[in-house]
Chains A and B, each alone.
Chain A
Amino acid sequence: MRHLQQSLGNITMTSLKLKTLLASLALAASGMAAAQNSLLNVSYDVAREFYKDYNTAFTAHYKKTTGKDVKIDQSHAGSSAQARAVNDGLDADVVTMNTTTDVQFLADNGVVAKDWAKKFPHDASPTTSTMLFLVRNGNPKNIKDWDDLIKPGVQVIVVNPKTGGNGRYAYLAAWGAVREKGGTDAQAAEFVGKLYKNVPVLAKGGRDATATFLQRNQGDVLITFESEVVSVEREFGKGKVDAVYPSVSVTAENPVAVVERTVAKKGTGDLAKAYLDYLYSDEAQEIAAKHAIRPRSEAVLKKHADQFKPIKQFTVAKYFGSLTEAQKVHFNDGGQFDKLYTPGAK
């Protein structure tokens, strides 16, 4: 092996050594940074803006109350991908997800506490969101509620439930809407089947769905999280889309949890708890409202009533038991969603 390297020239050898040295320096540097009072928050995709503001607020608050400096690292990717990463060894101190199944997965694997939902108020969800419709400016197809989505000629853009929490909530919202009106599960299944017949493209994720709807000009209506609307307007400009609130929609909880496995090793248990506790403070709830995420605090919600229109919501638990159960029944392979696409099974 050494002979071959010699043949290729000492230059290659030296540059290889140089670059390995550089790499190890970089590794050491990042390791050193972690040794200070630091916290890794593993979160979901579109939460970056929110956590950027929140982290600034929290570090100030922490310094004021304890006099200590703290460095907060953020990691953002798809919620389930993040859960898998933490399960496979990513050293998160806290996880802040947008689907309860992901935190439950970690609990089942002993990474977070089994009773994680009881450790913080409101089932450990300081914020929520809901699903609504985005239609073209002026609402040319006059889409007001769920029933309008199954009309012939209406094209619906939605996220693939198999690959995104956004998509799963859209599906559950549609299903639950039928149940809320007094329908049976069979009627709900029929409705959802008709709905997905009107879907020309299953987007990979929330952002992809928005791009398909707004940039590729596909579809007449986009079902997505309420919190996406602010981002959409910022990127594409106001006035391109109208937000339509259906009569009823589902509550999408944003659960948070301390990663016991990591804090036991790093000794950051108190810091992690303080970090998550502060999410329920008025300051944090205000920041959430600013980013179109529904706060739990009634006071803050009322203050921003023009942004968060009142909408009748049902929880996942009401019709599906829990998101984990819904996952098993509807979204896992062979489940209800798959049945929609297997020929013969309507």
Chain B
Amino acid sequence: MTAATSVAARGAVPAAPARAARRASKRVLPGFGLTLGYTLFYLSIIVLIPLSALLFKTATLSWEQFWTAISAPRVVASYRLTFGASFLAALVNLFFGLLIAWVLVRYRFPGKKIVDALVDLPFALPTAVAGISLTALLAGNGWVGSILEPLGIQLAFKPAGIVVALIFIGLPFVVRTVQPVLEDAEKELEEAATCLGATRWQTFRLVILPSIMPALLTGFAMAFARAVGEYGSVIFIAGNMPMVSEITPLIIIGKLEQYDYAGATAVAVVMLVISFVLLFIINALQAWQRRRAGAPA
């Protein structure tokens, strides 16, 4: 490794074979092999191998059984609900999370430290407790529900309530991912933009936003991913009516209750694949955006 480092430092790679040159440009910073190796090892042991158990269990079904299990109307309705509500909630969190991170980093106001600390709250409450207290709040006789329901807005036991619960649990992701990046942002760029005549909004849109976009997308992806899998906080506020307000994790539980392990894993595999694809798209988008913004490797 030292040889490659000194080669890179001297900047002399003309005669070296192409492979060594490529390796040299990767390894200016040492530790690639070690960190990648450990990452893959840990990932496999904790995540990949157990997750493959899902696939193996599902494989015990015939294609027909598999298809029936995952394409039943109730199940499909639940996909729509789960992924739709999660996406919506993550979107809301994207907007408000950015707002809150901005306010926390850029402004001073009384009680800022408390607000800052409170953002992590959704992580601290066990999901089931969050679910129970949200339901208590939003039901007809709760603090919020008693105001909204006379206006005709029913949140508890309806899909809207699910979105509210998912907003709650996803909020910290965007805030905490954007906050450190915002703090690190260089003010000179903004000052330069102002000097060059940009309005504040233009500066925000064209200078600041692109630089925090990767963090924003990461936060969005995390909030979305978390919302998709969420069970404890949603199950109390959802009406669980089949075809209307039934989330996919509940269908999985239902199958387990019937001792249909393979059916449960089949639906779980579908969820996994869809989540993986969506996350992959978001991450690839983020990587592309970073490259476009000219960030160094």
Interface residues in chain A, defined as those with a beta carbon under 8 Å from any beta carbon in chain B: 1, 3-4, 80-81, 83-84, 105, 160, 162-164, 199-204, 208, 211, 215-218, 327, 331-334, 338, 341-343
Selected A-B contacts with CB under 8 Å, 11 pairs: A4-B34, A81-B256, A162-B257, A163-B250, A201-B240, A215-B139, A216-B139, A217-B141, A332-B258, A338-B74, A342-B73
> How many A-B pairs with Cβ below 8 Å?
81
Q: Are A341 and B243 within 8 A (Cβ)?
A: yes
Contact A105 B259 (CB under 8 A): yes
Q: Which residues of B contact A211 (CB under 8 A)?
A: 132
Residues of chain B within 8 A (CB-CB) of A201 are 157, 239-241
Q: With A216-B156, A217-B140, A332-B258 as given contacts, are A163 and B253 in contact (CB-CB < 8 Å)?
A: yes
Does A163 lie within 8 Å of B140, measured CB to CB?
no
* Inter-chain contact A84/B256, CB cutoff 8 Å: yes
Q: In the complex, given contacts A84-B259, A204-B240, A338-B72, what are 7 additional A-B residue pairs having Cβ atoms less than 8 angstroms apart?
A: A200-B157, A200-B239, A201-B240, A202-B240, A203-B240, A215-B136, A331-B258
A117–B12 CA distance with the chains assembled, in angstroms? 83
Asked if A202 meets B241 with Cβ closer than 8 Å, knowing A338-B74, A342-B73, the reply is yes
Complex Cα spacing A246 to B255, Å: 31
A202 touches B258 (CB 8 A): no
Residues from chain B with a CB closer than 8 A to the CB of A341 are 74, 241-243
Chain B residues, Cβ within 8 Å of A202:
239-242
User: Do A163 and B141 contact each other (CB < 8 Å), given the known contacts A201-B240, A216-B156, A218-B157?
Assistant: no
B257-A204 in contact (CB<8A): no
Residues on the B chain within 8 Å of A216, using CB: 135-136, 139-142, 156
Cβ contacts under 8 Å, A203 to chain B:
240
Q: If A201-B239, A338-B242 touch, does A333 touch B260 (CB 8 Å cutoff)?
A: yes
Q: How many Å lie between the Cα of A160 and that of B259 in the bound state?
A: 16
The majority secondary structure among interface residues of chain A is loop
Q: How close is A107's CB to chain B, nearest CB, in angstroms? A: 12
Interface residues of B (CB under 8 A from A): 34, 38, 68-69, 72-74, 132, 135-136, 139-142, 156-157, 235-236, 239-243, 250, 253-260, 263
- Residues of chain A within 8 A (CB-CB) of B73 are 342
Chain A residues whose CB sits within 8 angstroms of the CB of B254 once the complex forms: 160, 162-163, 333
Residues of B within 8 A of A215 (CB): 136, 139, 141
Closest 4 pairs between A and B when the two form their complex, measured CB to CB: A162-B254, A216-B139, A341-B242, A202-B240
Closest B residue to A217 by beta carbon equals B141
Q: How far is the CA of A39 from the CA of B88 in the complex (A)?
A: 50
Would you call A333 and B241 a contact (CB within 8 A)? no
Residue ID in chain A nearest B250 by CB atoms? A163
Q: A254 to nearest B CB, angstroms?
A: 18
Cα-based distance from A105 to B263 in the complex (angstroms)? 17
| Chain A residues closer than 8 Å to B240, beta-carbon distance | 160, 201-204
CA distance A200 to B257 in the complex (A): 22
A333 contacts B72, C-beta separation under 8 Å: yes
Q: How far is the CA of A221 from the CA of B254 in the complex (A)?
A: 24
Q: A163 to B251, alpha carbons, bound, how many Å?
A: 9
Residue of A nearest to B140 (CB): A217
Q: How far is the CA of A148 from the CA of B256 in the complex (A)?
A: 34
Kindly provide the distance from the CB of B51 to the nearest chain A CB, expressed in whole angstroms: 18
Closest to A208 in B: B236
Which A residues are in CB contact (< 8 Å) with B256? Answer: 80-81, 84
List, in ascending order, chain B residues with CB within 8 A of A218's CB.
139-140, 157
In the complex, what residues of A have CB within 8 A of residue B156's CB? 216
- Closest CB-CB distance, A121 to chain B, in whole Å? 28
Distance in angstroms from B288 CB to nearest chain A CB is: 31
Task: Give CA–CA (A341, B242) in the complex, Å.
Answer: 7
Residues of chain A with a CB closer than 8 A to B258's CB: 162, 327, 331-333
Q: Is the CB of A1 within 8 A of B239?
A: no
Contacts of A162 in B (CB 8 A): 254, 257-258
| Cα-based distance from A105 to B260 in the complex (angstroms) | 11
Say yes or no: A163-B257 contact (C-beta < 8 A), given A217-B140, A218-B139: yes
Bound Cα distance from A162 to B241, whole angstroms: 11
| Residue of B69, B136, B157 ringed by the most chain A CB atoms within 10 A | B157
The chain A residue sitting closest to B75, CB to CB, is A333
**CB distance A333 to B255 under 8 Å?**
yes
Of A162, A200, A327, A332, chain B has the most CB atoms within 10 Å of the CB of A162
Chain A residues near B139: list those with CB within 8 A. 215-218
Residues of the A chain whose Cβ atoms lie less than 8 Å from the Cβ of B253: 163
Question: CA of A200 to CA of B242 in the docked complex: distance in angstroms?
Answer: 11
Among B74, B142, B260: residue with most chain A CB under 10 A: B74
Assembled-state Cα–Cα distance A167/B250 (Å): 15
Q: How far is the CB of B188 from chain A (nearest CB, A)?
A: 33
Q: How far is the CA of A113 from the CA of B42 in the complex (A)?
A: 42
Provide the residues of chain A in CB contact with B132, threshold 8 Å: 211
Question: CA A200 – CA B157 in complex, angstroms?
Answer: 8
**Beta-carbon nearest neighbor of A164 in chain B:** B257
Chain A residues near B263: list those with CB within 8 A.
Answer: 333
| Complex Cα spacing A202 to B257, Å | 16
The complex places the Cα of A31 from the Cα of B141 at a distance, in Å, of: 48
Q: Give complex CA distance A343, B241 in Å.
A: 13
With CB as the reference atom, state the residue of chain B lying closest to A78: B257
A287 CB to nearest B CB, Å: 29
Give the docked Cα–Cα distance between A160 and B240 (Å).
8
A215 to B257, CA, bound (A): 27
* CB of A137, distance to nearest CB on chain B (Å): 16
